[in-house]
Structure 1
Amino acid sequence: MADRVGAVASFLCAIHCALLPFMIAALPFLGMEFLADHRFERGFVMFACVLALLVLVRGFRRHRWSLPLLLAAPGLGLLLLGVTYAESYSIVLHSALVTCGGLLLAAAHFINLRRDHRGDGHVHGPQCAH
C-alpha cells in the first residue's frame, strides 16, 4: 500500500513539476494558486522523500534487492537539489531536476511494488526476510 501511495505521489510530483511552468499563469483563475507555492512543493517533496526512504529500505530488508534504492538515491538527490538550490536559480533547471527526480522515485516505487507482489512463483530464499 505504501509503495502504491509513494509511486502515485512521486509520479504526480513529476507531472506537477513538468507542467507548472506552463500552467503558472492559469492557476489563479482555477483557484489552485497554492500549487505554485514553494512551501507546498517543499512539503510535498519532504513527504515523498520520507515515504520513499521508509518503504524502499523496508523492501530492501525483505528482499535484499538494491535496484529500487539505486534508482531512489539519485531521485532523492535531484528532488532535494531542485527544491533548495535550483529553486532560486532557474525555473527551467528547477523544473528539470524535480521532474527527473520524481520520475526516478516513482520508478523505484513501481519496481519495489512489483517485487513485493510478483505472481511469477517468487521463491523465498535465505535472503528474503518474510
Structure 2
Amino acid sequence: MPITEPMEAQPTTSRRWQLADRIGAVASFLCAIHCAALPFVLALLPLAGLEFLADHRFERAFVVFACTLALLTLGNGYRRHRRPRPLLLAFPGLALLLLGVTVAEQYPIAWHSALVTCGGVLVSCAHFVNLRLDRRAPHVHGPSCAH
C-alpha cells in the first residue's frame, strides 16, 4: 500500500503557489508601470532618493527575479491544470523583458521602455490567467498526477 500525503497538504501547497502567482502578477505589473513612467520621472528620482530605480543593475536584477518567479509558478500551474494559455502569454513577455534589459539598452530609451513595459504586462497577464485557471480547475489527484 503506497504512502500518501495528508489531504491538507495540497491546499496549503496550492495556496503557496497562488500567493507566488499574485506576487508575480503584481511585481510584473509594477515593473511595467516603472518602465513606462521612467522616461518621464527620470529627473525627479534623485530628489526623492530613488535614483537606484533608474540603475540598470537594479532593473536587470528585478527582471531576473520576475523571470524566475514566472517560470516556477507558471510551470507549476501548467503541471496542475495542463492549459498552455499562461505560458503562451509568458514566453513572449519574458523574451521582451530580456530583450529590453540587454539589447535595447543600446537604443533610445523609448525602445527600451516599450519593450520592457509590454513584456511586463504580458507576464502579469500570464500570472492572472494562471490564477484564474487554478480557481476554475482545482487540482485533483488521479492517475495522471505528477506528484
Instruction: Say yes or no: TM over 0.5.
Output: yes
TM-score (norm 2): 0.81
CA offsets, 1:71-129, max 9 Å, x none? 000000000000000012121000000000000000000000111123xx769587676
What's 2:95 paired with?
77
What corresponds to 1:34 in structure 2? Answer: 52
The share of aligned pairs that are identical, in percent, is 70
Indicate how the Cα distance of structure 1 residues 103 and 126 shifts in structure 2: closer, same or farther if over 3 A, else same: farther
Structure of larger gyration radius? 2
Q: TM-score, normalised by structure 1?
A: 0.92
Q: Which residue of 2 aligns with 1:20?
A: 38
Paired letter, 2:32: A
Find the counterpart in structure 2 of residue 43 from structure 1. Answer: 61
For residue 70 of structure 2, the aligned residue among 20, 39, 52 is 52
Indicate yes or no: 2:116 matched with 1:116: no
List aligned pairs for 1:4-15, cutoff 5 A: 4-15=22-33
Runs of at least 4 residues off by over 3 Å: 121-130
Unaligned runs of 5+ in 2: 1-18
Gaps of 5+ in 1: none
Cα deviation code 1:25-77 (max 9, x no counterpart): 00001110000000000000000000000000000011100000000000000
Residue in 2 aligned with 1:61?
79
Question: How big is the alpha-carbon RMSD for the aligned residues of Structure 1 and Structure 2?
Answer: 1.8
Q: Measure the CA separation in 1 of the matches of 2:92 and 2:145.
A: 25
